[in-house]
C-alpha cells in the first residue's frame, strides 16, 4: 500500500471518529437502500404483482376461440410442463319450476382457475369463502341474481338443456367476471364434464372456448410466442394488456410511484451529499493548508481524500444495498397474501445497481467540492482569508444533477419520469435560490430596516443582508429539503387519495343496458323516485366501413386486436359535451352542427386514425361520414361508461338507440333493482361490484407497498434539512462570539439569531409549499393522469413547518453559542 | 538562554560565509493591488541566513514581517526578487515541488497553532511523518510529545488542551521531522505571558538540541534581543 493510500485510510478513520462523515454516509446509505429496494421490487415483487394481476385473467395466458381448440394446443402446454385448464361459455335458458332466465353459462375443468380464485357462499348474503376447485359434476354455482330470478335456493335443482343439476352454492366472485361487461347474463358455473349431457353445445352453437396456462414467466412468454404462430381464424391470445386495461393502468401507476419515489430519495440524498461535502471541505481547508505546508503535494491531497471518500462510499453503498435487500424482504412479507410461493428469488443485480448508483452520486455530488481542497494555498495557514473555495453549492448541484440524469437513463430507462424529476429539481434549485436572494434583499432593504426598532432584530436582519448570497443558498437548500418532506407527507397523501378515488368506494357497481328510447323517461323517473343517480348515455351500434374513403377491412391490420376492432360493431354515442371522466388530448370538441367525431386515443392509435381523418360508419344498413376533430383519453379504471366514438346528437339522432348507464347501488338499494327489472323486463342489469372490489383490493395493496419506499425518500429529505441547517453553524458561532465580545447581551445574540432564522424559515416554508404544490400537480397530471385538488393543509402546514423548524434551530443554535465561552470559540476559529 | 547561546551550542559557524548559507533572499519586493492603487508591502529586501543562525524579524504591525516570512517559506510569492533555500531557487519550482522541498527541509510554528481539530495530539504530530511515508510515525511522535512534556496527553484533542499545550504540540510537530529550518510566526502571540515564556524556552531548547536554523517573526523586542541577529522592518524596508 502506498503512503497516500495508508494516509487515506487513516484520514477516513479520523474523520469518521470526528463525526465529519456521518451525514454523508447516511445520505449514501439512504440513496442506495432506496434504489436497491425499488430495483428489487422491479426484479421481483412488481413482476409478482403483474403475475398476481393475472388472477383477474384466471391464468397467466388465456387463449380464446370461437371453435374448439385442436388437441395440439393443450398438448403443447403439457409438453412444456405448464399447468392448463379449459372452459367453454355460452348463453342458455335455465329453468326452475315455472321460472326461466337466460344465464351466462361457464363450464370449467375442475382445476380452474389457475390464478386467482372463485368465491362462493352457502346462501345469498351469507359470508363467502374461497373455493378450492371448480364445481364438481352434477352441481352448479349460480349468481345471486339467478337465485332470485329462478327462485332457486341452494339445494334446489334447475334445468339446463336436457340436464337437471343441483344448485350447490351462490357464486360471489369469479376472476374474469369484469372482462366484458356487455351482453352478460347472470353467471352459472358448472363442470365441463357435464356439458355434453345438456346437449346445448352443438355445431353452430354460439360458444366460446377458453384454454388457460400458468407457469414461470419465461416459459409462458415462450409458450405465447409458439402458440401465436399456430392460431387459427377466430382464435386469439388474451393477456393483461388486452384483457384488463384498467388493471394494467393500476400496476403501471404503482410502478411509476415506486420509480418516482426512488428517484426522489436518490436526488435528495445527492443534495444532502453535496451539502455535506461542502461542509466537509470548509472544515478541512485549514487542515489541507497545514498539510500543504508540511509538504503534501496537490496530487497527494487528491489521493488521500479521493481514497477516503471512495472507501466511505464503498462501505456505505454496501450497507445501503444490504438494507435495500432487507427492505424488499420486509415488503414481500407485508404483501404476503398477494405474493405467493412461486416468487422468483432476488438476483444480485439490483444490489449491484444500487451500489453503482451510490458511487455515481458520491462522485457527482461530492467530487466537485472535494477537488477544491487541492487548490487550497498553503498561505492560508498565515492568512485565513486566502483560499476560500469558489463556486460552491450551485456548481456542485449542477454537476450532481448531471451525473444523476445520466444515471437515470442507464438505470431506469424512463426518460419522461426522470426528466420531470431531475428537470424539476434543477429548476427548483435555481428558482429557490434566486427568489430567496431577492426576498432577503427586499426584506432587509435599508428603507425597511430604518423602521425596525429592536436592535437585535435589526442586527439579525442586517446579518441576512450581509450574507445574502450564502443565506439564499442555505434557504434554497432548506426549501428543497422541506419541499421533499411536504411532498412526501401532504402531497403524497393527496396523491394516494386521488389514486384511491380513481377506484372509489362509490364507483359504479352496476351497469344497466338496453333501455329503449320510449322507456328512458320512465326509467329516469324510477331512478329518482328510488334515490338512485345515474347518467344515461344513448348507444347506437355501428360498424366502421371506410377510413378516408378507403374501405376498411380486417386484412389491413396485422395486430389481432385491431382486426377484431374493425370486424365488430362499435358502441357509438352522441352527446353535446364530453363526459366528465374523459379528457381531450388532441384537437377540439366538435361543433354541435358539424359532421365531426371524437375518438378514444387508444383505438385511434391502434387503427391508425388521426385528427382530420374521415370515417364512414354503417348503422342499420345506412351510412354516415364524419371527420375526427378530437381525441379523448379515458379512465379505463373509472368503472364508468366509456365510448370509443362520440358524435354530435344531430348526426345519430335518426338512428335507433338504446340507453346505457353505470351507477352505484348501496346494498340497501338492491331491492329497488329487482323492482326495476320486474317493471322493465327487457333491461339487463349487470353487477360489477365484485370486480370493483377486486380492483380496489389490488390498489390498496400496491399503495401499502409504495408507502414503505416513501420512508427512504422522507429520510433523505430530512438529511437535506439537517445538512442545510448545519451548513453555516460554524460561521454563526463565530459571529455570535464576536457580538458577545463587543458587549451584546445573551438576549441580543439569541434575538438576532431568531430574527435571522425566522425570516429564512418563512421564506423556505413558502417556497417549499409552492414547490410541493407545483410538483404535486405536475406529477398528478402528467405522470399519473389524476386530478389533484389544491390542499389547504399543505398551504397551512408548509410555511408553519418552515418557521417552526428554523425557530427550533435558532433555539438550539443560540444555546450552543451562548453556552461556550466566546474566547474559546474565537481561539478555535482563528 | 538566548538565541546566540542556542546557535553557538549547535556548533555552527555563523561567521563563515557562503557555503553554509541556508536561506538567501535577494531583492524581495511585494506589491498588491488595493482598489485602484498599488500597495507596496515589501521593497528590495536582501537577507542571508546561515545554518544554525537564529534571526528575529521585528517591526510594527503592517510592516510586512509576516509577508516576508511567508515568502521565505515559499508560501507566498514575491513580486520581485528570489529566494534560495539550500541553493534552490524556490520560485523556479512549481507549487508542488516547493511543497515537497518544505516537507523535507522546513518546520513551522504559527501564532494560531494550526492543529487539526479532528486529530489527537499524537495524530497531529504524526501527520508530517505520515505524509513523508515514515514507518515509525507513531513511536517518533509519541517520543517527541513526551519530550515536550505532553506524554500524558497523547490522545487528547486540541480543544481539550490549553493554548500553551497546543503550541507545545505544534512545536513537537515542527521538530519531529528534524527540519533544517524552523520558521516561527509570532509563536507566543496567542498566549499569556507565562505560557509564552515557557513555549519560548522550549522552542530555544529544542532548536539547540536539533541544530535547527531559526527565523522568527515577533513584535516582542525583548524576545528579539535574545537572537543573534535582528532584521528590523519599517514601511516594507529593512532598516538598521
Please write the tens of the pLDDT for every residue from A398-425. 666 677 667 665 655 566 666 766 777 7
Looking only at Cα atoms, what is the longest distance across chain A? 109
Contacts of A21 in chain B (CB under 8 A): none
- How would you label A601-634 residue by residue, b for 16+ Cβ within 10 Å and e otherwise? bebbeebebebeeebbbebeeeebebebbbbbeb
Residues 6+ apart with CB under 8 A from A745: none
pLDDT at B8: 40
Provide φ and ψ at B150, rounded to 5°: -115, 30
Summarize pLDDT for B34-46 with one digit per residue, the tens.
778 888 889 999 9
Q: How far is A379 from chain B (nearest CA, A)?
A: 5
Residues 6+ apart with CB under 8 A from A72: A230
Question: In whole angstroms, what is the distance from residue A469 CA to residue A471 CA?
Answer: 5
Question: In whole angstroms, what is the distance from residue A264 CA to residue A266 CA?
Answer: 5
Q: Which residue of chain A comes nearest to B125, CA vs CA? A: A294
> CA dist B32 to A166, A336, A660, B42, B57, Å?
107, 73, 88, 10, 21
| Contact between chains at B70 and A299 (C-beta distance less than 8 A) | no
| Contact between chains at B102 and A10 (C-beta distance less than 8 A) | no
- How would you label A515-527 residue by residue, b for 16+ Cβ within 10 Å and e otherwise? beeebeeebbebb
Contacts of A290 in chain B (CB under 8 A): 114, 116, 127
* List of chain A residues with pLDDT < 50: 178-183, 338-342, 830
Nearest alpha carbon to residue A443 among A75, A111, A810, A763 = A763
Decide if A827 touches B, using CB distance below 8 A. Answer: yes
Match 453559542 to its residue by C-alpha cell.
Answer: A817
Question: In whole angstroms, what is the distance from residue A45 CA to residue A330 CA?
Answer: 11
**Measured between CB atoms, which of B70, B102, B127 is closest to A379?**
B70
Q: How far is A14 from chain B (nearest CA, A)?
A: 7
Q: How far is A387 from chain B (nearest CA, A)?
A: 12
| Contact between chains at A299 and B96 (C-beta distance less than 8 A) | yes
Contacts of B133 in chain A (CB under 8 A): 3
pTM over 0.80: no
In chain A the first and final C-alpha atoms are separated, in Å, by 36
Q: How far is B133 from chain A (nearest CA, A)?
A: 5
Summarize pLDDT for A205-262 with one digit per residue, the tens.
567 889 999 888 788 888 888 888 888 777 878 765 555 555 556 666 666 667 777 7
Chain B contact residues (CB < 8 Å to A): 66, 69-70, 73-76, 95-96, 99-104, 108, 110-112, 114, 116-119, 123, 127-128, 130-133, 159, 163, 173, 177, 185, 190
Q: Which residue of chain A comes nearest to B102, CA vs CA? A: A295
Look at strands B213-218 and B54-59 and give their pairing: parallel
pLDDT at A723: 81
Question: In whole angstroms, what is the distance from residue A342 CA to residue A60 CA?
Answer: 13
| Bridge partner residues of A173 (DSSP) | A119
**Measured between CB atoms, which of B70, B74, B117 is closest to A382?**
B70
Q: Are B126 and B138 in contact (CB under 8 A)?
A: yes
Decide if A297 touches B, using CB distance below 8 A. Answer: yes
Q: Are B198 and B164 in contact (CB under 8 A)?
A: yes
Contacts of A7 in chain B (CB under 8 A): 130-131
How many C-beta atoms surround the C-beta of residue A306 within 10 A?
Answer: 19
Contacts of A305 in chain B (CB under 8 A): none
Summarize pLDDT for A339-393 with one digit per residue, the tens.
443 455 667 777 888 888 888 888 888 887 788 888 888 888 877 666 565 555 5
Helix (H, G, I), strand (E, B) or coil at A550: strand
Residues 6+ apart with CB under 8 A from A337: none
pLDDT at B9: 38
A127-133: Cβ within 8 A, 24+ apart = A128/A170, A128/A172, A128/A173, A131/A169
Contacts of B117 in chain A (CB under 8 A): 18, 828
Question: In whole angstroms, what is the distance from residue A80 CA to residue A61 CA?
Answer: 14
Nearest alpha carbon to residue B14 among B63, B66, B55, B50 = B50
Question: In whole angstroms, what is the distance from residue A764 CA to residue A657 CA?
Answer: 59
Q: Which residue of chain B comes nearest to A15, CA vs CA? A: B118
| Bridge partner residues of B151 (DSSP) | none
Q: Are A171 and A129 in contact (CB under 8 A)?
A: no
User: Which residues 379-398 on chain A approach chain B with CB closer than 8 angstroms?
Assistant: 379, 381-383
pLDDT at B140 over 90: yes
| Contact between chains at A294 and B117 (C-beta distance less than 8 A) | no
Q: Which residue of chain A comes nearest to B128, CA vs CA? A: A294
Q: What is the mean pLDDT of residues B151-167?
A: 91
Q: Which residue of chain B comes nearest to A299, CA vs CA? A: B96
Q: Are B119 and B137 in contact (CB under 8 A)?
A: no
Please report the number of interchain residue pairs, chain A to chain B, with beta-carbon separation below 8 angstroms. Answer: 91
Nearest alpha carbon to residue B187 among B117, B110, B119 = B110
DSSP state of A522: H
Helical residues (DSSP H) of A386-467, grouped into ranges: 393-411, 415-443, 446-449, 455-466
Provide the CB-side half-sphere exposure for A184 (13 A, CA): 20
| Contact between chains at A17 and B118 (C-beta distance less than 8 A) | yes
> CA dist A773 to A495, A715, A767, Å?
11, 20, 10
Q: Which residue of chain B comes nearest to A3, CA vs CA? A: B133
pLDDT at A335: 59
Contacts of B159 in chain A (CB under 8 A): 824, 828
Question: In whole angstroms, what is the distance from residue A791 CA to residue A156 CA?
Answer: 56
- Structure confidence at residue B12 as a pLDDT band (50, 70, 90): very low
Contacts of B66 in chain A (CB under 8 A): 382
Look at strands A614-619 and A537-547 and give their pairing: antiparallel
pLDDT at B92: 92
pLDDT at A112: 87
Which region, left, alpha or beta, applies to residue A275 given φ > 0 means left and ψ of -120 to 50 means alpha? Answer: alpha
Contacts of B185 in chain A (CB under 8 A): 382
Question: In whole angstroms, what is the distance from residue A68 CA to residue A226 CA?
Answer: 19
Nearest alpha carbon to residue A262 among A534, A30, A563 = A30
With a pLDDT cut of 70, the percent of chain B lying above it is 92
**Measured between CB atoms, which of B75, B133, B190 is closest to A827?**
B190
- Structure confidence at residue B214 as a pLDDT band (50, 70, 90): very high
Q: How far is B100 from chain A (nearest CA, A)?
A: 5
Decide if A20 touches B, using CB distance below 8 A. Answer: yes
Q: How far is B15 from chain A (nearest CA, A)?
A: 30
Residues 6+ apart with CB under 8 A from A410: none
Nearest alpha carbon to residue A192 among A169, A216, A173, A209 = A209
Contacts of B75 in chain A (CB under 8 A): 293, 377-379, 381-382
Q: Which residue of chain A comes nearest to B130, CA vs CA? A: A7
Question: In whole angstroms, what is the distance from residue A525 CA to residue A531 CA?
Answer: 10
pLDDT at A194: 93
Which of B68, B90, B101, B116 to mutate against chain A (most A CBs within 10 Å)?
B116
Q: Are B140 and B176 in contact (CB under 8 A)?
A: yes
pLDDT at A341: 38
Q: How far is A805 from chain B (nearest CA, A)?
A: 29
| Contact between chains at B131 and A294 (C-beta distance less than 8 A) | yes
Question: In whole angstroms, what is the distance from residue B196 CA to residue B200 CA?
Answer: 6
Decide if A287 touches B, using CB distance below 8 A. Answer: yes
Match 369469479 to its residue by C-alpha cell.
Answer: A174
Question: In whole angstroms, what is the distance from residue A702 CA to residue A252 CA?
Answer: 11
Amino acid at each position: 500500500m502506498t503512503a497516500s493510500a495508508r494516509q487515506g485510510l487513516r484520514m477516513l478513520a479520523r474523520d469518521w471518529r470526528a463525526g465529519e462523515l456521518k451525514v454523508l454516509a447516511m445520505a449514501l446509505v439512504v440513496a442506495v437502500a432506496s434504489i436497491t429496494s425499488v430495483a428489487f421490487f422491479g426484479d421481483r415483487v412488481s413482476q409478482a404483482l403483474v403475475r398476481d394481476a393475472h388472477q383477474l385473467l384466471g391464468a397467466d395466458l388465456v387463449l380464446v376461440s370461437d371453435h374448439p381448440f385442436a388437441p395440439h394446443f393443450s398438448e403443447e402446454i403439457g409438453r412444456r410442463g405448464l399447468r392448463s385448464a379449459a372452459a367453454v361459455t355460452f348463453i342458455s335458458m335455465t329453468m326452475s319450476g315455472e321460472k326461466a332466465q337466460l344465464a351466462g353459462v361457464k363450464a370449467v375443468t375442475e382445476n380452474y382457475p389457475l390464478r386467482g380464485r372463485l368465491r362462493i357462499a352457502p346462501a345469498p348474503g351469507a359470508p363467502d369463502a374461497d373455493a378450492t376447485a371448480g364445481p364438481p359434476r352434477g352441481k352448479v354455482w349460480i349468481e345471486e341474481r339467478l337465485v332470485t330470478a329462478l327462485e332457486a335456493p341452494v339445494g334446489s335443482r334447475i334445468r339446463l338443456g336436457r340436464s337437471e343439476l343441483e344448485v350447490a352454492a351462490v357464486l360471489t366472485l369469479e376472476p374474469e367476471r369484469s372482462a366484458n361487461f356487455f351482453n352478460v347474463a347472470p353467471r352459472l358455473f358448472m363442470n365441463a364434464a357435464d356439458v355434453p349431457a345438456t346437449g346445448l353445445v352443438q355445431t353452430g352453437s354460439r360458444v366460446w372456448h377458453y384454454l388457460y396456462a400458468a407457469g414461470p414467466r419465461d416459459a409462458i412468454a415462450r409458450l405465447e410466442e409458439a402458440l401465436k404462430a399456430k392460431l387459427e381464424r377466430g382464435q386469439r391470445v388474451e393477456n393483461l394488456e388486452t384483457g384488463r386495461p384498467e388493471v394494467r393502468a393500476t400496476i403501471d401507476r404503482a410502478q411509476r410511484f415506486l420509480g418516482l419515489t426512488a428517484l426522489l430519495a436518490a436526488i435528495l440524498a445527492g443534495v444532502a451529499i453535496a451539502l455535506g461535502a461542502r461542509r466537509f471541505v470548509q472544515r478541512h481547508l485549514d487542515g489541507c493548508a497545514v498539510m500543504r505546508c508540511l509538504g503534501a503535494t496537490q496530487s497527494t491531497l487528491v489521493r488521500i481524500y479521493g481514497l477516503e471518500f471512495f472507501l466511505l462510499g464503498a462501505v456505505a453503498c454496501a450497507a445501503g444495498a444490504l438494507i435495500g435487500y432487507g427492505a424488499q424482504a420486509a415488503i414481500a412479507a407485508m404483501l404476503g397474501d398477494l405474493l405467493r410461493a412461486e416468487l422468483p428469488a432476488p438476483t444480485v443485480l439490483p444490489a449491484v445497481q444500487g451500489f453503482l448508483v451510490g458511487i455515481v452520486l458520491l462522485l457527482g455530488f461530492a467530487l466537485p467540492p472535494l477537488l477544491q481542497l487541492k487548490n487550497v494555498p498553503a498561505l492560508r495557514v498565515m492568512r485565513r482569508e486566502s483560499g476560500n473555495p469558489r463556486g460552491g453549492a450551485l456548481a456542485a448541484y449542477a454537476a450532481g444533477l448531471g451525473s444523476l440524469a445520466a444515471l437515470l437513463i442507464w438505470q431506469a430507462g424512463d426518460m419522461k419520469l426522470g426528466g420531470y424529476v431531475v428537470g424539476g429539481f434543477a429548476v427548483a434549485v435555481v428558482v429557490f435560490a434566486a427568489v430567496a436572494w431577492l426576498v432577503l434583499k427586499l426584506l432587509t432593504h435599508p428603507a425597511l430596516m430604518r423602521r425596525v426598532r429592536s436592535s437585535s432584530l435589526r442586527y439579525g436582519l442586517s446579518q441576512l443582508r450581509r450574507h445574502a448570497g450564502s443565506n439564499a443558498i442555505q434557504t434554497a437548500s432548506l426549501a428543497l429539503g422541506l419541499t421533499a418532506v411536504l411532498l412526501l407527507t401532504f402531497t403524497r397523501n393527496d396523491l394516494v387519495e386521488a389514486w384511491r378515488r380513481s377506484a372509489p368506494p362509490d364507483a359504479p357497481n352496476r351497469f344497466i343496458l338496453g333501455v329503449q328510447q320510449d322507456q328512458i323517461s320512465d326509467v329516469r323517473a324510477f331512478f329518482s323516485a328510488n334515490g338512485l343517480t345515474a347518467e344515461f348515455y344513448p348507444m347506437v351500434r355501428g360498424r366502421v366501413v371506410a377510413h378516408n374513403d378507403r374501405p376498411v377491412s380486417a386484412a389491413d391490420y396485422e395486430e389481432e386486436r385491431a382486426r377484431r376492432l374493425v370486424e365488430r360493431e362499435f358502441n357509438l354515442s352522441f352527446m353535446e359535451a364530453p363526459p366528465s371522466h374523459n379528457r381531450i388530448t388532441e384537437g377540439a370538441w366538435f361543433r354541435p352542427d358539424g359532421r365531426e367525431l371524437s375518438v378514444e386515443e387508444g383505438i385511434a392509435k391502434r387503427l391508425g386514425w388521426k385528427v382530420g381523418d374521415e370515417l364512414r360508419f354503417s348503422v342499420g344498413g345506412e351510412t354516415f361520414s364524419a371527420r375526427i376533430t378530437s381525441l379523448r383519453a379515458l379512465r379505463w379504471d373509472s368503472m364508468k361508461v366509456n365510448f370509443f366514438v362520440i358524435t354530435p346528437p344531430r348526426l345519430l339522432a335518426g338512428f335507433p338507440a338504446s340507453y346505457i348507464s353505470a351507477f352505484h347501488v348501496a346494498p340497501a338499494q338492491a331491492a329497488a333493482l329487482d323492482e326495476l327489472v320486474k317493471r322493465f323486463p327487457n333491461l339487463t342489469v349487470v353487477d360489477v361490484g365484485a370486480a370493483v372490489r377486486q380492483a380496489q383490493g389490488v390498489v390498496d395493496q400496491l399503495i401499502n407497498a409504495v408507502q414503505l419506499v416513501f420512508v427512504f425518500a422522507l429520510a433523505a429529505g430530512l438529511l437535506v434539512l439537517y445538512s442545510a441547517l448545519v451548513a453555516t453553524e460554524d460561521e454563526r458561532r463565530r459571529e455570535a462570539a464576536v457580538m458577545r465580545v463587543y458587549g451584546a447581551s445573551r438576549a441580543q445574540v439569541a434575538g438576532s439569531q431568531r430574527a435571522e432564522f425566522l425570516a429564512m424559515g418563512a421564506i423556505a416554508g413558502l417556497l417549499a409549499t409552492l414547490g410541493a404544490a407545483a410538483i404535486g400537480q405536475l406529477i398528478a397530471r402528467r405522470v399519473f393522469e389524476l386530478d389533484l385538488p389544491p390542499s389547504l393543509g399543505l398551504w397551512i402546514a408548509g410555511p408553519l413547518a418552515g418557521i417552526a423548524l428554523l425557530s427550533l434551530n435558532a433555539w438550539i443554535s443560540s444555546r450552543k453559542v451562548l453556552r461556550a465561552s466566546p474566547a474559546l470559540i474565537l481561539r478555535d476559529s482563528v | 538562554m538566548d538565541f546566540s547561546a542556542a546557535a553557538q551550542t549547535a556548533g555552527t559557524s555563523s561567521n563563515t560565509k557562503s557555503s553554509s548559507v541556508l536561506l538567501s533572499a535577494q531583492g524581495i519586493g511585494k506589491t498588491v493591488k488595493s482598489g485602484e492603487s498599488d500597495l507596496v508591502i515589501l521593497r528590495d529586501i536582501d537577507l542571508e541566513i546561515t545554518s544554525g543562525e537564529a534571526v528575529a524579524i521585528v517591526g510594527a504591525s503592517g510592516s510586512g514581517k509576516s509577508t516576508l516570512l511567508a515568502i521565505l517559506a515559499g508560501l507566498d510569492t514575491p513580486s520581485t526578487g528570489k529566494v534560495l533555500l539550500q541553493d534552490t531557487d524556490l520560485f523556479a519550482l512549481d507549487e508542488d515541488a516547493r511543497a515537497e522541498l518544505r516537507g523535507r527541509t522546513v518546520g513551522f510554528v504559527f501564532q494560531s497553532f494550526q492543529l487539526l481539530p479532528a486529530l489527537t495530539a499524537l495524530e497531529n504530530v504524526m501527520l508530517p511523518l505520515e505524509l513523508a511515508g515514515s514507518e515509525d510515525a507513531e513511536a517518533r511522535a509519541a517520543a517527541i510529545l513526551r519530550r515536550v512534556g505532553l506524554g500524558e496527553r497523547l490522545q487528547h484533542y486540541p480543544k481539550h488542551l490549553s493554548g500553551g499545550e497546543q503550541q507545545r504540540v505544534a512545536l513537537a510537530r515542527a521538530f519531529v521531522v528534524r527540519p533544517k529550518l524552523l520558521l516561527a510566526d509570532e509563536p507566543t502571540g496567542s498566549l499569556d505571558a507565562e505560557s509564552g515564556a515557557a513555549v519560548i524556552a522550549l522552542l530555544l531548547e529544542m532548536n539547540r538540541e536539533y541544530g535547527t536554523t531559526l527565523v522568527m517573526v515577533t513584535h516582542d523586542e525583548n524576545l528579539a534581543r535574545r537572537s543573534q541577529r535582528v532584521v528590523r522592518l519599517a514601511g516594507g524596508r529593512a532598516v538598521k
